[in-house]
């Protein structure tokens, strides 16, 4: 689902868009024709991508009694101009490290990346002029007002005083902060602070805005409000957005395209719909009364020709089916015949969680997000 | 260069604005040196009578004032790095480093702010000393040199504190190192006591102690018969060290970015 009018969400053949591994890009490129027609390139970029990262590797040195951590293990991703690109993965998958490298906060051990046409290693200064960063943690000083924070950020980006003032007023208005503009930010709610952070990230009209876990810690209402703002912003500001999240629904809701990150690599990339339709069939979930009967239940269900990809997880047995809800009575009858007590059973359309399971080999909840 | 100046000014103003919005903190900053001056002044009042103490006809309060100025500058500056640690704890440091802000400006901003604080504290100490009856033989250029010494000493130790903050990224480590350094430096100097009455090794150490340089610059500047040959080299060394420390501390940003 997309809210971005400029984005190519209706690819002619969605099934060919996702790539299962970084190396197996689709043979034809329906993507490149779409991407090229949309917007002139910035700054004489050599690449048609707004973000183009190849084989990024980053290892953090060992601490006392700690193994070195290979945070990124050959991560590659390509982001088109004007799209909202989601980076989805559990904590520790390498999302934030990717953002740190692309925003010049940290340097990769190997690999290369360009952002808005500038190489992050050779020309970090140009990258910094072209980007806005909203990091995971609040980034406005508690003893400054919202307006002061914005104006300072604008001045530092090279705007003159009058322009900085105008731009700050505009952003305060748009993010619903105008009534609180002259209060100290320490009196702001979590949602207000987050909106101010996003406004600060946009103050220089960046070509690329990085949003690192923007809604973590927000209550549902503030989260919905920020979602609406992010969706609107990408079109109003003509900004490319790279968003990291460990919320499946957030990635699904906001991203034009997304990459699933697991153990420092991109394991799947494409539009949410394409990734989901790549999976054959619907998902059956059976919840058992007795957790020890899982293996027996899986064994019985695997004999049914209409079910495949059966996995057991605690008291849950999951499988996939081409027969939609029609599989339910058959499965329940089979289990009853063998005396396996069932607490509940559902059939659902594939979700991003299924996509994740398919590519990372475990469910999203399992890794503990 | 102009970008550096503009950014430095903007960031200095940010710190000053934050300071004046904490009136309690401002009050503490100003009361603390007064306590040093009056307590030490009363406790050691009679040391000037010890044979060999180079009071040269001054009261102990007059002798002590340059010492308290330097100690106050050192103790305040040693905390400078805590601002960076706070900024690292939230997203401020990341956002700054991912923006076109010059690293030099980030360093200058905090150092300029600390220097302003030191300037005000020095003014308060001199004011209190006068109020308590101190009379200096050569207020000019003595007081100007006192301000210069306090600011340069502040630059040296604020830069050092910032560098330690960037390298350790840890509040406890920074406080530990600051405390380990501050008190010994204060007592290995002529701030409160004439080192000529101390063991020879201590006199030698004091010769290399930047805090002692600041004390000597101020005390000689205020004296009736200044020992210029002792004063100028120390003022020069302080200035050189201030430039070198600021430059080195700015380099510490690179080390910080490599480690995160």
Q: A146-167: per-residue pLDDT in tens?
A: 999 999 999 999 999 999 999 9
Interface contact B257-A105, CB threshold 8 A: yes
pLDDT band at A17 (very low <50, low <70, confident <90, very high): very low
> What is the rounded average pLDDT of the residues A277-294?
85
Interface contact B100-A128, CB threshold 8 A: yes
Instruction: Name the closest residue on chain A to residue B8, using Cα atoms.
Output: A156
Reply yes or no on whether the pLDDT at A11 is more than 50. Answer: no
- From B247's Cα to the closest Cα of chain A, the distance in A is 20
Reply yes or no on whether the pLDDT at A359 is more than 90. Answer: no
pLDDT band at A192 (very low <50, low <70, confident <90, very high): very high
For A11: left if phi > 0, alpha if psi spans -120 to 50, otherwise beta; the answer is: beta
In angstroms, the Cα distances linking A2 to A36, A84, B123 are 20, 9, 62
pLDDT at site A69: 86
Interface contact A137-B99, CB threshold 8 A: no
Q: Which of B7, B17, B21 sits opposite A156 (nearest CB)?
A: B7
The yes-or-no answer to whether A14-276 and A280-349 have a common fold is no
Enumerate the H helices of B52-102 as residue ranges.
60-77, 82-89, 92-97
Mean pLDDT of chain A: 83
Give domain A280-349's CATH architecture: 2-Layer Sandwich (3.30)
| CA angle (A20, A22, A25) in 5-degree steps | 75
Q: Which of B3, B6, B98 sits opposite A133 (nearest CB)?
A: B98
Q: Which of B6, B18, B97 sits opposite A141 (nearest CB)?
A: B18
Domain borders along chain A are 14-276, 280-349
> Within 10 A of A296 (CB to CB), how many other CB atoms are there?
17
pLDDT band at A64 (very low <50, low <70, confident <90, very high): low
User: Which of A156, A198, A208, A214 to probe the B interface (max B CBs under 10 A)?
Assistant: A156
- Specify whether the CB–CB gap between B147 and B119 falls below 8 A: yes
Residue found by looking up tokens 């209550």 in the block: A219
User: Could you give phi then psi for residue A107, rounded to 5 degrees?
Assistant: -115, 140
CA separation for the pair A85, A148 (Å, rounded)? 31
User: Could you give phi then psi for residue A309, rounded to 5 degrees?
Assistant: 55, 50
CA separation for the pair A148, A129 (Å, rounded)? 20
- From B13's Cα to the closest Cα of chain A, the distance in A is 10
Chain A residues inside the 8 Å CB shell of B96: 156
Within 187-216 of A, beta carbons closer than 8 Å to B belong to 197, 200-201
pLDDT tens per residue, range A305-355: 888 888 888 888 988 888 878 888 999 998 999 888 999 998 888 777 778
- B91 at the A interface (CB within 8 A)? yes
In angstroms, the Cα distances linking B146 to B187, B208, B209 are 19, 19, 17
CA separation for the pair A54, A71 (Å, rounded)? 15
pLDDT tens per residue, range A164-185: 999 999 999 999 999 999 999 9
Residue found by looking up tokens 């953002």 in the block: A99
Domain borders along chain B are 2-259
pLDDT band at B214 (very low <50, low <70, confident <90, very high): very high
User: Could you give phi then psi for residue A136, rounded to 5 degrees?
Assistant: -60, -35
Reply yes or no on whether the pLDDT at A46 is more than 60. Answer: no
pLDDT at site A233: 78
- From B23's Cα to the closest Cα of chain A, the distance in A is 12
Tokens of B62: 């007059």
pLDDT at site A283: 85
Within 59-118 of A, beta carbons closer than 8 Å to B belong to 61, 100, 103-107
Superfamily of domain A14-276: P-loop containing nucleotide triphosphate hydrolases (3.40.50.300)
Stronger pLDDT, A13 or A351, i.e. the higher one: A351
Cis preceding linkage at B181, omega within 30: no
Handedness of CA A260, A262, A264, A265 (dihedral sign): negative
């Amino acid at each position: 689902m997309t809210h971005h009018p400029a984005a190519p969400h209706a690819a002619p053949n969605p099934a060919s868009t996702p790539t299962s591994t970084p190396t197996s890009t689709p043979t034809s490129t329906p993507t490149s024709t779409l991407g090229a027609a949309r917007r002139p390139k910035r700054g004489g970029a050599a690449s048609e991508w707004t973000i183009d990262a190849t084989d990024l590797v980053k290892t953090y040195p060992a601490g006392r009694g700690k193994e070195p951590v290979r945070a990124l293990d050959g991560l590659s991703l390509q982001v088109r101009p004007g799209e909202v690109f989601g980076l989805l993965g559990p904590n520790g998958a390498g999302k934030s490290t990717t953002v740190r490298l692309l925003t010049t906060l940290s340097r990769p051990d190997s690999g290369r990346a360009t952002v808005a046409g500038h190489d992050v290693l050779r020309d970090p200064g140009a990258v910094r002029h072209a980007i806005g960063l909203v990091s995971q943690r609040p980034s406005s000083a508690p003893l400054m007002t919202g307006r002061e924070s914005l104006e300072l950020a604008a001045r530092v980006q090279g705007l003159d005083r009058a322009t900085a003032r105008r731009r700050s007023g505009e952003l305060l208005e748009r993010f619903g902060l105008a009534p609180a503009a002259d209060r100290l930010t320490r009196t702001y709610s979590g949602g207000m602070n987050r909106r101010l952070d996003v406004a600060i990230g946009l103050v220089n009209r960046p070509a690329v805005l990085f949003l690192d876990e923007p809604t973590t810690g927000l209550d549902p209402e503030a989260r919905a409000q920020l979602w609406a703002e992010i969706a609107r912003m990408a079109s109003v500001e003509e900004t490319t957005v790279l968003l990291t999240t460990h919320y499946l629904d957030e990635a699904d809701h906001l991203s034009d395209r997304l990459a699933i990150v697991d153990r420092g690599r991109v394991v799947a990339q494409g539009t949410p719909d394409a990734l989901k339709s790549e999976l054959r069939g619907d998902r059956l979930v059976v919840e058992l009364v007795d957790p020890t009967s899982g293996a027996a239940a899986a064994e019985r269900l695997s004999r049914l020709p209409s079910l495949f990809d059966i996995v057991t997880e605690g008291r849950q047995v999951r499988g996939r089916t081409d027969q939609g809800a029609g599989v339910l009575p058959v499965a329940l009858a089979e289990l009853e015949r063998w005396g396996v007590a069932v607490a509940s059973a559902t059939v659902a359309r594939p979700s991003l969680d299924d996509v994740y399971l398919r590519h990372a080999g475990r469910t999203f909840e399992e890794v503990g997000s | 260069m102009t970008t550096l100046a503009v950014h430095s000014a903007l960031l200095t103003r940010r710190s000053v604005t934050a300071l004046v919005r904490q009136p309690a903190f401002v009050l503490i900053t100003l009361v603390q040196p007064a306590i040093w001056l009056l307590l030490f002044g009363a406790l050691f009042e009679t040391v000037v009578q010890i044979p060999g103490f180079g009071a040269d006809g001054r009261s102990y309060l007059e002798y002590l004032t340059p010492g308290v100025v330097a100690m106050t500058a050192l103790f305040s500056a040693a905390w400078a790095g805590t601002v960076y640690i706070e900024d690292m704890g939230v997203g401020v440091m990341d956002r700054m480093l991912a923006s076109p802000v010059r690293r030099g400006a980030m360093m200058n901003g905090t150092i300029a702010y600390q220097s302003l604080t030191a300037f005000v504290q020095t003014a308060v100490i001199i004011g209190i000393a006068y109020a308590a009856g101190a009379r200096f033989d050569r207020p000019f250029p003595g007081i100007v040199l006192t301000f210069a010494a306090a600011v340069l000493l502040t630059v040296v130790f604020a830069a050092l504190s910032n560098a330690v903050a960037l390298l350790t990224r840890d509040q406890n480590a920074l406080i530990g190192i600051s405390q380990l350094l501050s008190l010994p430096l204060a007592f290995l100097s002529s701030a409160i006591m004439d080192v000529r009455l101390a063991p020879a090794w201590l006199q030698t150490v004091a010769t290399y102690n930047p805090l002692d340089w600041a004390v000597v610059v101020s005390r000689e500047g205020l004296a009736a018969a200044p020992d210029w040959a002792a004063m100028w080299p120390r003022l020069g060394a302080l200035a050189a060290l201030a430039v070198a420390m600021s430059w080195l501390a700015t380099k510490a940003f690179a080390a910080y970015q490599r480690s995160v």
